[in-house]
Structure 1
Amino acid sequence: MAKKPASTANTPAAPQRRRRGFEAASGLLNTQIRKVGEARGFAVSRLLTHWPEIAGAELAACCRPVKVSYGRGGLGATLTLLTTGAAGPMLQMRLPALREKVNACYGYNAIARIALTQTAPTGFAEGQAEFTPAPKPAPKAPDPHVMHQAKAVADGVHDDGLRAALERLAGNVLSKAANNKGHH
């Protein structure tokens, strides 16, 4: 049998390989997420990563957790939420129910108070992620005269898909031209 050469101080060690196979991305990031969360006082990173599920979609659209600060005795922490100024009063009324939901996430009565920080949606450095925008209004019905003209433009095309696309394009161009003419 051949002997393995003795390793010397000058030869670099081979990199160690993980032998666990594929791993979920969330598993790879757990340590980093926990460190960042703990720096802001979040003992449970789930509060950050699953905020819409904990607070509910409506509340999560208008606020987000920023930090958790603990008092001198260590009991009864304060959760600070970032919200826009307009949503502040509505959110203030719902804080007791939200506190119960957050404490259910922790599994005990960890949060004693919730403080609100009101700012513009892109205000502080930690709050620069935009909140959910308001839904767009439904488009108004097209003018029947414009749609008739658009149908006439695409009338000679035999392919149904192409004719429908040309009708939509002509309808958009003609309605935009009609809107611009009415504004001047």
Structure 2
Amino acid sequence: MSTDLEGLQVAILATDGVEQVEILEPMKALKAAGADVKVVSLKTGTIQAMNGDVNPGDKIPVDFDLSVDVEMFDALVLPGGTTNPDKLRMSEDAVEFVQHFVDSDKPIAAICHGPWMLIEADAVEGVQLTSWPSLRTDIENAGGEWVDEACVRDGLLVTSRKPDDIPEFCRQMIEMFGEDAEEDEG
């Protein structure tokens, strides 16, 4: 298993309301493993991160808006926060961005409310995954199998429930992204 992600291009799709720890910790872990990580959003400039849904956190710089060429990315991270994926799933461009990764068999890591984007992209049918508990019915209604575990991997998808799961989420995300990169090289 490779944890050397040198040369891997990773998109983190997020907007205002993103849970701060769910964007910054995976970003830090990916960069430490050598990945080139870019924040993609509905707009350029910065997005407002939150600590919980009520306390403003840091402003996070955006690298690209959704007009970016999605082909440049090898993997995708979908952080949570309640309002972040709720705003994103209302954007046809954001849903199409996620759909590209699904259709291209590129690895995706989603945490907390991030799986809402997978539901919008029709990517959960027949898949086992986890999320924040309130998404259980949404996932099951979309044909997915929801489980209450810290981290679940099914094929090229890694999901986690909440900020407490971030260490395991980051470990499995980096492992999966590294395996996929090795397969692409081979």
TM above 0.5: no
Using the size of structure 2 for normalisation, the TM-score is 0.22
**Higher share in strand:** 2
Rg bigger for which structure?
1
